[in-house]
Structure 1
Amino acid sequence: MDPFERVALGRTGVTVTRLGMGLAPLGGLYSAVGDDTATAAIDEAWRHGVRFFDTAPLYGSGLSERRSGAALSGRDDFTLSTKVGRLVTPGRTEDPGMWSEGPQEITWDFSGEGVRRSHRESLERLGLDRVDVLHLHDPDDHYVQAVTEALPALVSMRAEGTIGAVSAGMNQSAMLTEFARTGQFDCLLLAGRYTLLDQSGLADLLPECERRGISVIAGGVYNSGVLADPRPGAYYDYRPAPPAVVARAQAMARLCERHGVPLRAVALQFPLAHPAVAAVLIGVRSPEEAADAVAMARVPIPGGLWRDLVAAWLLDPTVPVP
């Protein structure tokens, strides 16, 4: 694949590189990351040609946005997405998976004013004058307010030219499919539900988006790490992977080794075979991880590997492959 091919999101003028960088780790997801390392990770991705970056207020209680904006300041021709639905306020963070510089609290708010306030505060933290894509962030328990208040606000902001594309990002496909059916979304970020281990998004969301011309951004393609390094103790869906999941990933890794390709490359490239998928996001916390993601995107995958995965009952034969 060409990781730096630019493709449009839906029918908008917003374009992304097929490979994008997820910047949650730069907020300290699971472990702290220093300022210099965070900047170096974005610099390395940029040096290779990546021009799509995704962050959120949740990531380190605003830390990822501050670091992202500082690293991207003064550059142009990039696409940046962030998220709304959670506000960063003084207090103590309640999310043990996120590390922040100081006492901050994350509060839910999918009201129209909450969306606009979140966007304003994101721009302040970023130090930038624009965000290209704005996602509703994990509205699992807030569907009614997200549809009746947050979505109209995003649509108005798009009409005003404040943002370029309306989106939502979730770890489930069912609600994203309901969002797609409103006809108001340009793209949708599906995390962890269209991967080598979990293709549940293929049952509803991907065909709906293909029919409607909505672009899907595939996140979590390593399923929190188990497809990057399938060892006992690896993470799957943000928690330690069950033994059966580790065993399945290890079986995939052995087949990949026989064909001389890393499992990471196969996991990264797999989602892009579906016509609805515009881009994949790879979470990075260091320049080494950024360089590795680019390298994995460029690895040629032999057709025989896909056939062997199907023959070993590790991949559904009806799933599109590169």
Structure 2
Amino acid sequence: MNVTETVPIGKTDVRVTRLGLGLAPIGGLYAPVSEAQARATVEKAWDLGIRYFDVAPLYGNGLSETRAGAVLRDKPRESFVLSTKVGRVLRAGGADRQRIWAEPVEVTPVFDFSADGVRTSYAESLTRLGLDRADLLHVHDPDDFFAQAAAEALPALVDLREQGRISGVSVGMNQTGLPVEFVRTGMLDCVLEAGRYTLLDQSAGAELLPLCLSLGVSVIAAGVFNSGILADPRPDSTYDYSPASPSLIERALAVQAVCSSHGVPLRAAAIQFPLTHPAVACVLVGARSPEEVSDAVEMASISIPSALWSDLRSAGLLS
């Protein structure tokens, strides 16, 4: 993969680098991150040519946006692509508390997929970022709110796109069924699909990715390590933010063995696999330190022989 190559998102004028940086980790995902380390992480990505950055109000309950913005607002605005998310507003006493965020803040998320909620969320994100616009807006985790998100949130984002206040409309989810329905509305430019087109789970390849390809909707693949197991499969590995089952660990180790037989680190295969599908425009990899950014770029740049993918399929490890 040429990590600095840029490709278009849908039919928009947005072009993203093949490798993007997911900034949930600098919001204190699982463990605190200092302001200096967060800044150094974003700066390292910039130095290595990454020009697509993804944040969300949920990530650290505002910390990810604040920390990313502290770096990005000093960069030429036309030289990078930024996405954030809507569907949650941050309020004191919010009910959507998640224990995965290690740093205490005074606000927590409240789901709100109304048109007003979407506009409010976007405005508050820009304040935290210290920027005047984002390029892409993802409707974030509308799993239990499909009707309202389709009837109110998406049209509100389309209005923002028509006003030139954003360039692309998207949904970001950890499943495949509802994204298919959102794509069928005809309002999307892309889909942020997390964890469902990986070396352990290719469920997005059954319907979502072919549909997106046929309609010119780009796919941004995230969660390529399935929250850790595909970075380093061990007995204490996590899969989708929960302890991995023994069968999943066994499968990940089998994938790792095939990769090793080709002299390819598992991390490299995990990062590059989603781009084997033509619907996938780029891969988002999360990082919490400059060292993790450097490793992601190194892994993304390793040449992978096509025989590796063939061997994984022959072994029944890829669908």
TM-score under structure 1 normalisation? 0.96
Write the distance in 1 (CA, Å) between the matches of 2:305 and 2:188.
35
Equivalent pairs, count:
316
Structure-2 separation of matches of 1:205 and 1:100: 35
Distance 2:55 2:306 in 1: 34
- Where 2:170 maps in the other structure, the secondary structure is strand
Structural mapping, 1:248-267, within 5 Å = 248-267=251-270
Q: Which residue of 1 aligns with 2:229?
A: 226
Partner of 2:35: 35
In 2, Cα distance between equivalents of 1:299 and 1:97? 32
1:319 aligned partner: none
1:310 Cα offset (Å): 1.8
1: CA distance between counterparts of 2:105 and 2:201?
36
Partner of 2:288: 285
Counterparts of 1:9-158 in structure 2 under 5 Å? 9-76=9-76, 77-91=79-93, 94-158=97-161
The match for 1:269 is: 272
> Contact (CA 8 Å) 2:31, 2:103: kept in 1 or not?
no
Q: What are the residue-to-residue correspondences of 1:183-194 with 2, within 5 Å?
A: 183-194=186-197
- 1:261-316 superposed Cα distances (whole Å, 9 cap, x missing partner): 10000011010011110000001110011001100110011222222212222122
Distance in 1 of aligned mates of 2:312 and 2:115: 46
Shift of residue 98 of structure 1?
1.7
Q: State the Cα deviation string for residues 244-275 of structure 1 (Å, max 9, x = none).
A: 00110011111211211100000110100111
TM-score of the aligned structures, taking structure 2 as reference length? 0.97
Q: What amino acid sits opposite 1:299 in the alignment? A: I
Report the counterpart of residue 239 of structure 1 in structure 2.
242
1:311 aligns with 2:307: no
Whole-Å Cα distance in 2 between the matches of residues 304 and 7 of structure 1?
26
Aligned match for 1:163, one of 166, 170, 187: 166
The alignment partner of 2:83 has SS state of: strand
Q: How far apart are residue 197 of structure 1 and its match?
A: 0.5
3-state DSSP class of the match of 2:61?
coil
Offset at 1:139? Answer: 0.1
Whether the 8 Å CA contact 1:61–1:99 is kept in 2: the answer is: no
Q: Aligned partner of 1:88: which letter?
A: L
1:289 & 1:29 partners in 2: Cα distance? 14
Instruction: Tell me by how many angstroms 1:37 deviates.
Output: 0.8
Q: Which amino acid aligns with 2:137?
A: L
Structure 1 residue identity aligned to 2:112: D
Q: What CA distance in whole angstroms lies between the structure 2 residues aligned with 1:129 and 1:100?
A: 27
Q: Which residues of structure 1 form unaligned runs of 5+?
A: 317-322
What whole-Å deviation, never above 9, does each CA across 1:21-70 have from its counterpart, x for those lacking one?
10001111111111111111111111110000000000011000000000
For the residue of structure 1 that corresponds to 2:60, the secondary structure is coil
Please list every run of 5 or more consecutive structure 2 residues that lacks an aligned counterpart in the other structure: none
Question: What is the rounded CA distance, in whole Å, between the counterparts of 1:99 and 1:164 in structure 2?
Answer: 33
CA contact (8 A) 1:61 1:100 kept: no
> 2:178 is matched by which residue type in structure 1?
M
Stretch deviating more after TM superposition (246-255 or 57-66):
246-255
Dislocated runs of 4+, deviation >4 Å: none
2:3 — aligned with what?
3
269 and 292 in structure 1: CA distance in 2 versus 1, 3 angstrom threshold: same
- What is the identity percentage for the equivalent residue pairs of Structure 1 and Structure 2? 57
- Counterpart AA for 1:125: R
How far does residue 103 in structure 1 lie from its aligned partner after superposition? 2.3
Indicate conservation of the 8 Å contact 1:252/1:314, yes or no.
Answer: yes
Q: 1:102 Cα shift? A: 2.0
